[in-house]
Copies of this chain bind each other. A is one copy, B any other.
Amino acid sequence: MTSASSDFADRHRELLEQALVAIRKRDYFSAYPESPSPKVYGERAAADGSAAFEAWRGQTFPVSTPGADGGVATETSPFGFPLEVTYPRVRPEGVDTLLQTAAAGMPAWRDVGPDARTGVCLEILARLHARVFELANAVMHTSGQAFVMAFQAGGAHALDRALEAVAYSYDEMTRHPATAVWEKPGRGEPLRLEKTYTVVPRGVALSIGCNTFPTWNSWPGIFASLVCGNPVVIKPHPRAVLPLAITVQVCQEVLAEAGLSADVVTLAAEDPADGLAATLAVRPEVRLVDFTGSSAFGDWLETHAAQAVVFTEKAGVNSVVIDSTDSFRGMCFNLAFSLALYTGQMCTAPQNLFVPAGGIETDEGHMSYDDVAAGIGAALDKLLGDDAKAVELLGAVVNPGVLERLDAAPSRGRVLVESRAVTHPAHPDAVVRTPLLLGLDLDDGELYAEECFGPVAYLIATPSTTESIETFRRTARERGAMTASVYTTDEGVLAAMRSASLDGGVALSENLTGQVFVNQSAAFSDFHGTGANPAANSSYTDAAYVASRFRIVQSRRHT
């Protein structure tokens, strides 16, 4: 262990211990305050972070990437302006140099051992936390998330998820002693061997980032791979480079201070036309791939990157089974919030709301199908009626594809709640839209079995809750799902829905009528994705997410 990395390990030992307890209990734990309030972070933090972000605009980002050639600037804020930050461009012909350099740093990074690597990673998280306002701005202006959400999901919660991944990795790397004495009894003297178990990395890890959650979805894999001894090449989404460029900058700074090769973590920005992710993913040096994005490319990676262990989060269709409720208003508010949050641009946002055509029983009496639609519509109006407040919930449309899908949707069903354009008070060029609620029937499966990523939800009339549950079960199994929820006052329905969720391999939220929403997944307690249906082949964070990122090599000798 180098002296600096030993210092880092000491500095963060208590935090590590807390995280190790939390992953065993899976109850509430958070290490990084989620409130951007000046009371928590100080009076200047917000302004300083904003200024730090603004200072990057139009600049060349000061990170060096082995094998890079020239620069690329590919980001435009969904709030309506180009970032014009230039990053080193990795072309396909630079990949050899990039991967050789990354791999060259591996033996020293391996040899410092799990404790020192954990110290380095926790120091990186601490320094990212010190830049959390800058990161929040960077996430906001690449993903289109509103500021508070970008601060939380892109900052504090992402740090918690990264810490969780580090804690799981540390736990797995240290579940056996580093040495053991094996003493086999026999007739005479026992046979005695001393054994040494060394954690060794898999090889170069590739992290392929996404547009909507550049940190929250990438950090768990990056830090799990890194702490297990693997060099990490980070290939950000071309529209969301800055949050990961800052990440790489901090990683390199801490690695260098610890006397290690800074190139253990590298940024591989690309011109999108180069298709760099596909080139990197099938390289023999690359033994781990983390990906968040489309099912098409995720499936391609799972099939073609056979030399690597591939962790994917792809697309699915998330269902809500509405059977009955003891809080009609609470249900409508909760659903409306889930549909509106970040314009439905979350892999966890509900899409298919199944409701019996004959309506449901509620605390306010029987509600017809149209009453349910109207209730959700009223809740959306209340949440989003004021433009200034609406934009803080909706954020901005992340890319033109979302807008195209939204514009094409109304012709496919009965418009129950219209989408409307919202003018952003601070960013007049931002594209902001409220959710569309479209009425469909059970036999419109060709529509609702496909993910329509963005602010489009379907209220699907079914013959009964039994058919609602069966359709949920089938679409989860066949098309995948990241979340499911149910509203019911009937224990039998609840049991049937729980069973269907196990069959569909999807996390279930039951009767959420308050301030917890189906799209939210809390680090250290909620597993994000299950790996048990086509929407994802892995979960944040369980043992399976980390245990394959390293290997154990033993040696033994007589004592």
Contact = CB atoms under 8 A, between A and B. Distances in A.
B526 A554 contact: yes
A274 interface: no
Interface in A484-509: 498, 501-503, 505-509
A510 B176 contact: no
A249 to B, nearest CB: 30
A278 interface: no
Contacts of A511: 557-558
Contacts of A548: 544, 547-548
Given A507-B553, A553-B501, A195 B24 contact: no
Nearest to A510: B557
A191 B543 contact: no
A411 interface: no
Contacts of A512: 558
Interface in A15-57: 23-28
A510 B306 contact: no
A197 interface: yes
Interface of A: 23-28, 107, 110, 172, 175-177, 180-185, 191, 193, 195, 197-198, 200, 202, 302-303, 306, 498, 501-503, 505-516, 522, 525-527, 530-532, 539, 542-544, 547-548, 551-558
A503 B532 CA distance: 34
B503 A27 contact: no
A542 B532 contact: no
Given A530-B552, A532-B553, A191 B516 contact: yes
Contacts of A200: 502, 505, 530, 532
Main SS of the interface on chain A?
Answer: mixed
Contact of A530 (B24, B513, B553): B553
6 contacts: A198-B502, A501-B555, A507-B553, A507-B554, A509-B556, A547-B547
Nearest to A302: B306
A165 to B, nearest CB: 14
B25 A180 contact: yes
Given A28-B184, A530-B551, A547-B547, 13 more contacts: A24-B175, A26-B176, A28-B182, A182-B522, A191-B514, A200-B532, A306-B306, A505-B551, A506-B553, A507-B553, A526-B554, A527-B554, A543-B547
Contact of A526 (B507, B543, B556): B556
A525 B180 contact: yes
A189 to B, nearest CB: 10
Contacts of A501: 553, 555
Given A510-B557, A547-B547, A555-B508, A27 B180 contact: yes
Report which residue of A26, A302, A503, A505 has the largest number of chain B beta carbons within 10 angstroms of its beta carbon: A26
A531 B303 CA distance: 20
A180 B177 CA distance: 29
Contacts of A172: 543
A157 to B, nearest CB: 12
Contacts of A184: 28, 522
Contacts of A182: 26-28, 522, 525
B195 A26 contact: yes
User: 4 tightest A-B contacts by CB?
Assistant: A532-B551, A510-B557, A544-B547, A508-B555
A186 B514 CA distance: 14
Nearest to A197: B26
Report which residue of A172, A506, A542, A551 has the largest number of chain B beta carbons within 10 angstroms of its beta carbon: A551
A95 B123 CA distance: 54
A195 to B, nearest CB: 7
A24 B28 CA distance: 27
A302 B184 CA distance: 37
A102 to B, nearest CB: 16
A492 B62 CA distance: 42
Contacts of A180: 25-27, 525
A111 B172 CA distance: 27
A26 B556 contact: no
A552 to B, nearest CB: 6
Contacts of A107: 502-503
A202 B532 contact: yes
Given A503-B107, A526-B195, A181 B553 contact: no
